[in-house]
Every structure is written in structure tokens, then in C-alpha cells.
A and B are shown apart, each in its own frame.
Chain A
């Protein structure tokens, strides 16, 4: 063995140990698993069905459908179709008999890493009906049933049970909490008004949050998911920044300095609010210390500065400025220092959002007169266009796992909300109702 090899083996060992210690010490949230790389090997997973545990026939099927879509959207798993591999899923039973042993063996031989199955039933209780769900996981690597979950709740939470189980699967195999229980805030047109709504990440269960009959625009989540900050026109004459508490619907004004007060963004630790305001003349960026209320002006420029987005470590901001003519992306320290231009392609780049992993900034780029989604690395070295075709794409927002973006687009005529993988593949339309849905904002993971 040469010295070079020895060093690399030694280094590898140190890195492996350091990695393990890191995982053990930091807990789930900090595990860095780059599942957006093109060579990322997904874990093959098959769903062997959610059997009827007493109750209506549709119940198991519905849970299975939601679970499968969650597994697919996780981008961590490769959802395999078990029957097409010749695996008789009904033999799995309760996962303990000889039939299930045979299914496990088949799955392992066909290269299926994870098998999932379960049972769901509905009981009429004294007050409300009660749904029970069980889900179990077989891991072919260790050749054992590694565990399961049991949930109970009202029929209204059936989808949430499936989402929760999907997130447990992602957590088991990546240490990350998964995105199946995240939500998307957005703006929906109601007559001539625009009101805030929140829906599940898959477009289901939309609920209205505001009802003031005028304009409520561009919501952004607080880091703890309890609040939204957004632009409102309280008296129709000035644009203020409001906050609403989701659990109670209580709403109040945060920023009413006069003039245009728009594009609020709370820092990852919740200690600062960055926003654009024109109360001193033209649109400039400000940073408010949410504890002391100290207001610091970050930009000094006769042009328009807006749309700040925080880096995940809270040390930098990416923002839009038209100081060079058309809008372009700029970076600066979160105290306004060290301003430098990031984008040089095209004459219109706007609405930047920093990915939760820090490695990409998504934004709206104008190419061939169309407004499309682009991503650029914070060092400006890598750039990629994610969407093509006609229509105005706007307001990109990252999923907390950094593997997806949600955005609005007029590609199908009216403005609707879509989800896209961070590599530009697999666009999924999320909204189908209404005349105009826009400004989606993806919640942090719970």
C-alpha cells in the first residue's frame, strides 16, 4: 500500500467518524443529504397496500393513494410498482406469517429496499367516527420489519395520517422531517379583491385567512410557522406590512411608515424583518430588529431596491435593484455591507429566493420576452433555466428540503400555482379553482 493510499484511507476513516459524530450530535435537522444531485441514488420503495381493517372500502385506497404520492414527491424514494415485478402484495398479511416472509424474499430479490404496508378502519363512536391506521416497514437490507406507526383521529384527518406516515419514512431514511405535512400560503382572487389562503403542500384543503375585501399580497412565513407577514392596503392609500396568526386569525399592522411597504422577509432566527419601503422617497431596503424595534436602512440608492431574501445562516441578503436600468439581483451582508451584483444575463431578473440549503438562489428571469424560473449559485458561477414556454412565471418559493419550488404561472391561461423539482423536472399543478392564484410561499418544515 502506497503512502497516498494510506493517507486516503486514514482520511476517509476520519471523515466517516466525523460524519457519524456529526449526525449523532446535531440531530435530524442538520443532516445534509443532497438529494437534488443528478447522481443521487433514490431508495426503492414499494407500497404493498393499505388493507381494510373494518369500515368502508375507499378508506385504505385513499390513504394508499396519498401515501404513494407523498413517497414519490419526497424525491428520496423511488416508488416501485410491486405487481409489475410479480410480487403478490396481498400475501403480505400482517407481516408475520409465512406468506409475508415469501413477499419479503421476493422484494429483496427484485431489488426493492423498503416495503410498506398497513391497515385502516373506521369505527362509529359515540360522538364522532374514529379512523384507525397502522403502517409497517420492512427493510430488505436488514431483512426485518423495522417498525411501524399507529394513528387514530377523526375522518377529516385521513390525508394527514398518510402525510405523517410518509414523513416518518423520510425521517427514518434521511434524518430529515420530510415535507408531506408542510403548507403553502398564497393569494387568491375574490371578485376584485385578493385574499390570503393556506393549503396543504399537495394543493388540498385550501382555507381562507383574510377577508378584508381589498388587496393582501405576497405572504411569507415566520420561521415557527405560526404567522404570515404580508403587504396589505389597510386604508387603500398606503401599503402596510401586516402580520396574521394562523391559529387565531388575529391580524395587526407591523410596518406603517407611509408610502410603499412591501416584500417582508423574517430572518431564519426570527430576530429581524427585512423589507422594502419608500417612506424616505424611493423604494429602499430596511432591517428592523424585532426585539428592540431599531430600524436600520440597508440601501442608499436613487433606484428601486426590493425583495430581500435571507441566506439560511442569516448573514447575507439577496435582493432586487434597478440601479443598472432593469431589475437585477444583488447580494449584500445583512447589515447592508459589501453590495455586489449577482446576475448579468438578460435585462430583467427579479423575485429571488435563497434555497434552504444555501447552494442556489431561484428567481424570475426574462428570456425571449417570457418570464421564466431560473436558479443561480450564490457565487454566480452556475446558472440554469428551469421552466420554458409561454406564460408569466412568478414568485418562486423553496420547499424546506430544497428539492422543490412552488411558483405561480399563467402557462395554462389564468394564473395558477405549480410545483416543480429543483432540477426543473416534473411540474405538478396544485390549484384548479378560482380566477387567479398567485404569490405562493412554502412553509418551513414542522
Chain B
């Protein structure tokens, strides 16, 4: 059992590696940003068949109802009540987070957005112009564009909004001549705010595309 899972894990890790590598080159072909679904539509809208990037599923259907309740009894026999938990113990120290290979860079400016918006204003384009210059003059670096949102709105929709912001910034950098293969995007939605107050001054700082870098090969 353990061995099977271990093997599954290995296959998964390899699968992730395989997917993330061509993922970069795929992104370099696409430059349409939020209208990229045109490519998906050309495919006909559905892609049947099993594929990589999908892990193993256990059967999660409900086997029996009744909830383990036996009803009241005039002469009740003793029911042993279990440990009160179905939860495994997690050792918080066992899997400390991996360090992000990407780091903040003083030469790169955050790009800020209006409420609900992923449009890059004229003013913010100046920041991206400077970022493009920095990236071009540091050709050995790879850049990750993180999309962030303020705390208002739902967690789920803010992940989509954050991706739109990150892609808008990425696409503008590509327009300025930065090689798309050097740029990746990730959305953190409202889950990694830089500021935690419930105030517009703070919300402004959180609605941003934040650029981080690592040295490529």
C-alpha cells in the first residue's frame, strides 16, 4: 500500500515536471492574454480522453446511509464511542515550506490596479516600461509576475482577477519586447496581502502585479 502510494507520488512529481516544462514554451506562443480562449475554441471546446496532469481518484461515493445511528432502545446495550476523530495527526515541522527560488528585486516596480480592474493605466505603464528595461538589461534572469488583490470580494473570484492582472502585466512586457519565455504568471488572489489593514490606503497596495526574479540558465 505504502509502496504503491510512493510510486504514485513519484509518477506525479515527474508528471508535474513534464507539464511545467512545455508550459513555458506554450506560453511563449500565446500572447492574447485574457482573450486566449480563442485557442481553446478553435479546438472545439471539449477535449475528451484521459491525459497527463490527472492524478488517481479513489471511490468517494457514499457506501451506506443511516449515519451509524441505531435508534433509541428500551433496554439499550452499550455502544462504544470511538476516539472522536477521524483525523491523522500532522507534525507541522515535518514538511516546512520550500524556499521560493524567485526573489524580490529592487530594480522592479510593482504595478497597481483600480478596484475590480485588470486594466493597466497610463501611469502604471511607466513602471512597466522601466521594468522592461531592467529585464532586458539582465538577460540571464527569469521573471515571475504575481497577481494580487485586496481583501474585498470572494477568495475564488480574486484568484481569477489576480491571474488577469498578472497576465495583463505580462502581456504588456511582451509588447515591449521582453521574451515571453522569460515570463511566467501566478495568481495569489487575496491570499498573500502585503498590507493587512481594512482601509483603502491598504487595499491600493494589495491590488498589484508584483515581479520576482531568479537567475536562469
Q: Are A198 and B87 neighbours in the complex by a CB distance under 8 Å?
A: yes
Q: Are B84 and A147 neighbours in the complex by a CB distance under 8 Å?
A: no
Chain A residue at minimum C-beta to C-beta distance from B116: A326
Q: Whole-angstrom distance between the alpha carbons of A164 and B84 in the complex?
A: 11
Name the contact of B184 in the complex, choosing from A27, A237, A303, A327 (C-beta under 8 A).
A237
Name the contact of A351 in the complex, choosing from B16, B23, B49, B154 (C-beta under 8 A).
B154
Question: What are the interface flags for B37-76 relative to A under an 8 Å C-beta threshold, 1 for contact and 0 otherwise?
Answer: 1111101011111110111111111110111111111101
Name the contact of B79 in the complex, choosing from A150, A198, A259 (C-beta under 8 A).
A150
Name the contact of A281 in the complex, choosing from B38, B53, B60, B78 (C-beta under 8 A).
B38
Residues of A with C-beta under 8 A to B51: 293, 295
Q: Whole-angstrom distance between the alpha carbons of A147 and B72 in the complex?
A: 5
Name the contact of A394 in the complex, choosing from B53, B59, B70, B154 (C-beta under 8 A).
B154
A137 interface residue (CB < 8 Å to B) = yes
Question: What are the interface flags for A391-435 relative to B under an 8 Å C-beta threshold, 1 for contact and 0 otherwise?
Answer: 010110000000000000010010100000000000000000000
Q: Are B160 and A283 neighbours in the complex by a CB distance under 8 Å?
A: yes
Name the distance in Å between A276's Cβ and chain B's nearest Cβ: 8
Most buried by B among A137, A159, A207, A276: A207
Name the contact of A147 in the complex, choosing from B9, B59, B73, B160 (C-beta under 8 A).
B73
Chain A residue at minimum C-beta to C-beta distance from B46: A297
Q: Are A394 and B155 neighbours in the complex by a CB distance under 8 Å?
A: yes
Q: Are A297 and B40 neighbours in the complex by a CB distance under 8 Å?
A: yes
A292 interface residue (CB < 8 Å to B) = yes
Residues of B with C-beta under 8 A to A320: 156-157
Residues of B with C-beta under 8 A to A256: 12, 15-16, 19, 53, 55
B3 interface residue (CB < 8 Å to A) = no
Q: Which of B89-97, B123-131, B170-178 contacts A (4 or more CB under 8 A)?
A: B89-97
Question: What are the interface flags for A82-112 relative to B under an 8 Å C-beta threshold, 1 for contact and 0 otherwise?
Answer: 0000000000000000000000000000000
Name the contact of A446 in the complex, choosing from B12, B55, B68, B72 (C-beta under 8 A).
B68
Name the contact of A213 in the complex, choosing from B23, B70, B97 (C-beta under 8 A).
B97
Name the contact of A258 in the complex, choosing from B20, B39, B69 (C-beta under 8 A).
B20
Question: What are the interface flags for A245-256 relative to B under an 8 Å C-beta threshold, 1 for contact and 0 otherwise?
Answer: 111111011111
Q: Whole-angstrom distance between the alpha carbons of A214 and B186 in the complex?
A: 14
A115 interface residue (CB < 8 Å to B) = no
A203 interface residue (CB < 8 Å to B) = no
Q: Are A364 and B82 neighbours in the complex by a CB distance under 8 Å?
A: no
Q: Whole-angstrom distance between the alpha carbons of A235 and B58 in the complex?
A: 24
A387 interface residue (CB < 8 Å to B) = no
**Given A148-B73, A159-B84, A294-B50, A252 and B39 contact (CB-CB distance below 8 Å):** no
Secondary structure call for the B interface: loop
A124 interface residue (CB < 8 Å to B) = no
Q: Are A249 and B88 neighbours in the complex by a CB distance under 8 Å?
A: yes
Q: Which of B104-112, B133-141, B187-195 contacts A (4 or more CB under 8 A)?
A: B187-195
- Which residues 172-224 of A have a CB within 8 angstroms of B? 172, 177-178, 181, 190, 192-194, 198, 205, 207-215, 217-218, 222-224
Q: Which of A36-44, A261-269, A377-385 contacts B (4 or more CB under 8 A)?
A: A261-269
Name the contact of A413 in the complex, choosing from B5, B30, B84, B198 (C-beta under 8 A).
B198
A278 interface residue (CB < 8 Å to B) = yes
Q: Are B83 and A168 neighbours in the complex by a CB distance under 8 Å?
A: no
B201 interface residue (CB < 8 Å to A) = no
Q: Are B16 and A300 neighbours in the complex by a CB distance under 8 Å?
A: no
Residues of A with C-beta under 8 A to B198: 410, 413
A226 interface residue (CB < 8 Å to B) = yes
Residues of A with C-beta under 8 A to B96: 211, 213
Q: Whole-angstrom distance between the alpha carbons of A364 and B144 in the complex?
A: 31
Q: Are A192 and B156 neighbours in the complex by a CB distance under 8 Å?
A: no
Q: Are A266 and B46 neighbours in the complex by a CB distance under 8 Å?
A: no
For chain B, the count of residues having a C-beta within 8 Å of the partner chain is: 96
Name the distance in Å between B190's Cβ and chain A's nearest Cβ: 9
- Which residues 106-138 of A have a CB within 8 angstroms of B? 132, 134, 137
Name the contact of A218 in the complex, choosing from B85, B93, B155 (C-beta under 8 A).
B155
Q: Are A301 and B37 neighbours in the complex by a CB distance under 8 Å?
A: yes
Name the distance in Å between A182's Cβ and chain B's nearest Cβ: 10
Residues of B with C-beta under 8 A to A237: 20, 144, 184, 186
**Given A156-B83, A207-B87, A252 and B154 contact (CB-CB distance below 8 Å):** no
Residues of A with C-beta under 8 A to B153: 348, 350, 364, 366, 371, 392
Q: Are B98 and A236 neighbours in the complex by a CB distance under 8 Å?
A: yes
Name the contact of A153 in the complex, choosing from B36, B80, B159 (C-beta under 8 A).
B80
Question: What are the interface flags for A148-178 relative to B under an 8 Å C-beta threshold, 1 for contact and 0 otherwise?
Answer: 1111111011011100100110011000011
Question: What are the interface flags for B149-172 relative to A under an 8 Å C-beta threshold, 1 for contact and 0 otherwise?
Answer: 001111111011101100000000
Chain B residue at minimum C-beta to C-beta distance from A154: B83
B81 interface residue (CB < 8 Å to A) = yes
Residues of B with C-beta under 8 A to A235: 16, 20, 98
Show the binding face of A for B, using Cβ within 8 Å. Answer: 27-29, 132, 134, 137, 145-154, 156-157, 159-161, 164, 167-168, 171-172, 177-178, 181, 190, 192-194, 198, 205, 207-215, 217-218, 222-227, 231, 233-240, 243, 245-250, 252-260, 262-263, 266, 269-271, 273, 276, 278-284, 288, 290-297, 300-304, 306-307, 320, 322, 326-327, 336, 348, 350-351, 364, 366, 371, 392, 394-395, 410, 413, 415, 438-439, 444-446
- A sample of 25 cross-chain residue pairs with beta-carbon separation below 8 angstroms, ordered by A number, consists of A150-B78, A156-B83, A161-B81, A212-B95, A213-B97, A214-B97, A239-B159, A248-B88, A252-B12, A252-B55, A256-B12, A258-B23, A258-B53, A266-B60, A273-B57, A280-B39, A281-B36, A282-B164, A284-B37, A288-B54, A293-B51, A306-B156, A326-B116, A371-B154, A444-B62
Show the binding face of B for A, using Cβ within 8 Å. Answer: 5, 8-9, 12, 15-16, 19-20, 23, 26, 30, 32, 34-41, 43, 45-51, 53-63, 65-74, 76-98, 100, 102, 116, 144, 151-157, 159-161, 163-164, 184, 186-189, 191-192, 198
